[in-house]
Chains A and B, each alone.
Chain A
Amino acid sequence: EVQILETGGGLVKPGGSLRLSCATSGFNFNDYFMNWVRQAPGKGLEWVAQIRNKNYNYATYYAESLEGRVTISRDDSKSSVYLQVSSLRAEDTAIYYCTRSRELDYWGQGVMVTVSS
């Protein structure tokens, strides 16, 4: 059974940084692209970042709205993916979901990030 679990959310002050973690199990992590998607309170879904697998040289892609402030990374030995977000703003307040594959076929339950003073 595919399992995806995000951790690392919480309350952060504007200008601060946060590292989200996503632990996975139940599938061969090395074979898959991984993504982060976020959803601001009461709003729609926004794709944030993607990291490809070793076959694609771990290429990374970012939403323009966050480029320069966000870094996605992965550790295949731990079947985990990470999202580092810096210079956080109030508009970054959202649930952050970790999702598997180019098709976003499996999702974690998400982790809440609140940016507020």
Chain B
Amino acid sequence: DIQMTQSPSLLSASVGDRVTLSCKASQNIYKYLNWYQQKLGEAPKLLIYYTNSLQTGIPSRFSGSGSGTDFTLTISSLQPEDVATYYCYQYNSGPWTFGGGTKLELK
């Protein structure tokens, strides 16, 4: 199985900060990597698919990059509504797997 490792597990940042979240795969997943945002008490929401494609309706301050085993989600200017847990997910090969999540909070 492909293991997905996210870091850090907890991130504190201030409004307006540029924030970078990391996701590493245990083997090559090419670009089959998505990012999801989950706010407290809500279902996850797709932000970025196929590494760097922005889902419809998602603000342009969110962006993704990477390939192979190393991936990044960047929020260019953190907003209060971005407080959430972020998960990466690989769909290159089954069983499909999620990272453990990064909880993003305001400093």
Contacts and interface: CB of A to CB of B under 8 A. Distances in A.
Contacts of A50: 94, 96
B67 interface: no
Size bracket, chain B contacts: 20 to 34
Interface in A101-117: 102-110
Interface in B18-54: 34, 36, 38, 43-46, 49-50
A45 interface: yes
A7 B49 CA distance: 28
Size bracket, chain A contacts: 20 to 34
Given A44-B87, A45-B98, A46-B98, A103 B49 contact: yes
B95 A104 contact: no
Interface string B54-70: 01000000000000000
Contact of B91 (A44, A45, A63, A102): A102
